[in-house]
Structure 1
Amino acid sequence: MFKATAITLIPEAWPGPLGASILGRARAEGIWDLETVDLRTFGLGKHRKVDDTPAGGGAGLVLRPDVAAAAVDSVQKCPDLSRSVPAMTRPVVYLSPRGRRFDQEMARQWAAGPGVILFCGRFEGLDERAIEARDMQEVSLGDFVLAGGDVAAMAMLEAAIRLLPGVAGNSASITGESFENGLLEYPHYTLPREWEGRQTPPVLLSGDHRRIEEWRISRSKALTFDRRPDLYAAYSETPTPTAPETGDEPD
């Protein structure tokens, strides 16, 4: 079973969208499990203090390393020993805007393993010593800053969990998605065939599966070239790719 652990100051926010739709059903079926650990439980003193002012001055508060490490150690604790041992299987991830950007490849790596431990930060961040001492991997959802790591953690987990066997009803719906082959996904159409003067591309109604596949690949290339030239450059065999065909059906 894939196990996700979220260390957070707002456990009431979980499971959020992870508890609905196919992910919620998969959890109920035992395909994956979620554990939430309240960081406040490990806080110090009467008020369970988890943070303090930044060394060297500055605005905001910083999560204390002793509090953070205690929470991580409680998850990593070996049930047969009285001491905490480093986790050898599940990575410990700290959600941080300065971390490596999360992508589909990382989602696949997580899905192929036994799970992940996610430390959801708050305030100005986490004391660097805790990150180093507990060998945390810093991962970012993107080039922007959130109020905390919980939303980012949920998004990353959704990306990984939906790849687990048995979660998606049709595995073919995953293999053709954006980023799976280095390209953005082609456009989709359904009923009605004509809507507000816009037609479904005739090639999709032709019944010719070879032509349909060619059209979809061509549209994927064109969309990627237009919207994500960085992805297209990596996909293309040529150092400086030229604009691909639009993929429109010929007259």
Structure 2
Amino acid sequence: MRFDLVTIFPEYFEPLNLSLMGKASDAGVVDIAIHHLRDVTTDRHRTVDDTPFGGGAGMVMRPDIWGRCLDNLLDDEIPTDTSDKDGTVGHLSDDGTEDQGQKPPQVDPSTQRRVLAIPSAAGVPLTQAIVEDLASASHIIVACGRYEGIDQRVADHYRQRDVEVLEFSIGDYVLNGGEVAALVLVEAVARLLDGFMGNPHSLEEESYEGGLLEYPVYTKPREWNSLPVPDVLLSGNHERIRQWRLMRAIERTVERRPDLLTKIDPASLGSAGRERLASLGYALGAPGQVSRLTLREAHIDEGDALADLAARTFPLACPESLPREAIDAFIAEELSPQAFASMLASPHSHRILVAQIDGQLVGYTLTLLGEPESVPAGIAKMRGVGTGGAYLSKCYVDAQWQGSGIAGALIERAAEDAASLGARFLVLGTNEANARAQKFYKRHGFRKVGRRTFDVGGVVNRDVVLVRNLTPDEE
């Protein structure tokens, strides 16, 4: 790729001779040329600016001077490659030395993409997505303005000439000139080019890849200033390390750049990642759809809303063989507005936690605790259950939010709530035919301890009983 950088301070770009950028230039991966704008002036003082029309402070860079320089660069024929003299492209090895490459394929000049990039405080924010797009260009010219900037007609003129013009900003602050932004753009684009990075896998786990900021990194010594390296990174368990890094990346992104969450593909996070995100207050729907999520205790006046939610969600967990009349009878008796109003009036024994998005309840849990009969008698007698437990009676999420992580976040919040109120274990029953639910609960620390029968509208169902210890130290 060819970069032409135009400036009135050519010395500003000396850092491009350093480190990987300098080696990439020597290897022919990039071709960087620095041009002094004053070289195309014709007056004795080499003037490049003048006072602004309409008045105002500062000076504006003249369009005729810029046009003369840019026309020369755009009229130049671009080499079809940035190869060495023998026609081969050099690549950098892991140790930064040049490896001999292969002759590159010839490029049809008519298909070459040229971009005029103009740093500007009024430009679009430079993002990783824009950088990745620019990496497909053949030629990038960066016009580094100074003073109050470059006359707007420069950008307008070259757009009319069908030149791709990008006015960009590197942040919500003002600099003295465009050179710093030019350095940022050149390095951000060049490092994506084939052959630039000694280890191309370094690009795969960086900030902004997949919509997440990068996880924190550590090296020797194992402890510094009483700050140790997290134990998981020393465990040698690659899956645990991967999960730990994912969770830290999610937490960082939520804390520092929640605006990036719209770029996440929910599938890339896995179930645990989506649940962690939900626990932090964000639910992912389809790619690009992010909703603020609130997990909280139900309010005393939400009986009707809970009954509506229960009526929508209870049938989702019922086996196909269960008659609709039986389902409706159970809802009318156990999940009515009156039933929820009664439970909401007893918050110490009936713990109802809800998930709310855009003012609507989309999920809930119901946990019974604090009374001898909280855990059904048949379950309480099972081996591995014992006394001092809580009964997770309900855990449901609206169909459109299943798989979003909300259910997992609710389960963990319900377990924390029960433990804070003195429960030693959490027990539940789920239909024996519901393999998906059983897998979900086991992933959240529940283990099978037996079976029971459960009446739904006069129809007997068989459930698997699972229990989770809330006091791991007692195991």
Q: Would the TM-score normalized by the shorter structure come out above 0.5?
A: yes
**1:28 alignment partner, one of 5, 26, 29:** 26
Q: Does 1:180 align with 2:209?
A: yes
Q: How do residues 4-15 of structure 1 correspond to structure 2 at under 5 angstroms? A: 4-14=3-13
Aligned to 2:53: 55
**Contact 2:2/2:31 (8 A) holds in 1:** yes
1:8 maps to amino acid:
T
Name the SS for the 1:35 alignment partner. strand
Per-residue CA deviations over 1:58-85 (Å, capped at 9, x if unaligned) read 11111111111111101011459xxxxx
Per-residue CA deviations over 1:143-191 (Å, capped at 9, x if unaligned) read 1111100111001111111111121111111110000110000011111
**1:74 alignment partner, one of 53, 72, 79:** 72
Q: Does 1:106 align with 2:158?
A: no
Write the distance in 1 (CA, Å) between the matches of 2:52 and 2:112: 32
What is the CA distance between 1:232 and its match in structure 2? 2.9
Alignment RMSD, CA only? 2.4
**Contact 1:221/1:232 (8 A) holds in 2:** no
**Contact 1:42/1:50 (8 A) holds in 2:** no
Write the distance in 1 (CA, Å) between the matches of 2:258 and 2:166: 28
Aligned to 1:155: 184
What is the CA distance between 1:88 and its match in structure 2? 5.9
**1:166 alignment partner, one of 195, 209, 229:** 195
Name the SS for the 2:291 alignment partner. coil
Write the distance in 1 (CA, Å) between the matches of 2:293 and 2:170: 28
1:46 maps to amino acid:
R
Name the SS for the 2:255 alignment partner. helix
Aligned to 1:123: 147
1:32–1:234: structure 2 CA closer, same or farther, 3 Å change rule? closer
Per-residue CA deviations over 1:78-135 (Å, capped at 9, x if unaligned) read 459xxxxxx9621001111101110111111122221311000011111111110012
**Contact 2:210/2:263 (8 A) holds in 1:** no
Aligned to 1:239: 291
Aligned to 1:201: 230
Aligned to 1:90: 114
Write the distance in 2 (CA, Å) between the matches of 1:27 and 1:241: 49
1:59–1:11: structure 2 CA closer, same or farther, 3 Å change rule? same
Name the SS for the 1:134 alignment partner. helix
Aligned to 1:84: none
Write the distance in 2 (CA, Å) between the matches of 1:106 and 1:99: 13
1:230 maps to amino acid:
D
Aligned length: 240
Write the distance in 2 (CA, Å) between the matches of 1:138 and 1:156: 12
Structure 2: where are the runs of 5+ without partners?
79-110, 160-164, 265-283, 296-404, 410-471
Instruction: State the identity as a percent.
Output: 41
Aligned to 1:227: 256
Structure 1: where are the runs of 5+ without partners?
81-86
2:240 maps to amino acid:
R
**Contact 2:115/2:141 (8 A) holds in 1:** yes
What is the CA distance between 1:137 and its match in structure 2? 2.0
Write the distance in 1 (CA, Å) between the matches of 2:135 and 2:113: 13
Aligned to 1:145: 174
Name the SS for the 1:239 alignment partner. strand
What is the CA distance between 1:242 and its match in structure 2? 6.5
1:42–1:127: structure 2 CA closer, same or farther, 3 Å change rule? same
Aligned to 1:65: 63
The higher radius of gyration belongs to 2
Write the distance in 1 (CA, Å) between the matches of 2:227 and 2:56: 56
Name the SS for the 1:211 alignment partner. helix
Which structure dedicates a bigger proportion of its chain to strand?
2
Write the distance in 1 (CA, Å) between the matches of 2:203 and 2:241: 18
**1:46 alignment partner, one of 41, 44, 47:** 44
Write the distance in 2 (CA, Å) between the matches of 1:159 and 1:234: 19
Name the SS for the 2:233 alignment partner. helix
What is the CA distance between 1:241 and its match in structure 2? 5.0
Write the distance in 2 (CA, Å) between the matches of 1:63 and 1:13: 19
**Deviation beyond 4 Å, 4+ runs, structure 1:** 241-245
Aligned to 1:83: none
Q: Does 1:17 align with 2:41?
A: no
